[in-house]
Structure 1
Amino acid sequence: MCRSSEFDLLVSHAVTLFPEDTVLSALQVMHRHGVHVLPVVDGRDGAWLGQVSQQELHRLSGFAPLARLAEILTARARVETEEKTAGRRAPAPHRWLH
């Protein structure tokens, strides 16, 4: 069983990213720690905001290397919302081509 001080030590050494981190800086952190996915947390209260993968960041690094993770999480949320909204629409009638 983990004592409180041991738990605090583990949590204090957790590798996380923050909304103001850029794509490039996030990739550097991932490389340095040998991880492929990291959580993005609020710097004030440590609240979990989302996560990013190394694969996703590599795709973005080609055209938006200085984009902030907050922008990425916001864009992802918008896409997910649009997909959910689009899913609620009545399906288009199916037309067969002969």
Structure 2
Amino acid sequence: MDYSEMPYQEARKQAVKVLEDGYGDAVVLKDDHGYWVLYYLYGFQVPPPEAPPHWMEGPFPGEEGIRSPYEMQKFLEEQGDFTYLNDVD
């Protein structure tokens, strides 16, 4: 399955875990291949239900190595990507 375009609302329904912090939501999914993490970087705001993820990682064999939204945003900035933080309002 291609999770890279999965809307936030659908991902939340299928999540085995959600990591939330002031930078966004990391929605953790699990399938036969392992753990996948979809990052929705909207800060303290709830992402729009139809929003696709800003970034995706996986599969991981276990939950170790899964980054928080803060860690992912810092990683992306270190890679030269612009700030992904979206403003819903």
Compare CA radii of gyration and give the structure with the larger one.
1
Q: Provide TM-score, normalisation by structure 2.
A: 0.35
Structure with more strand by fraction: 2
Higher helix content, 1 or 2: 1
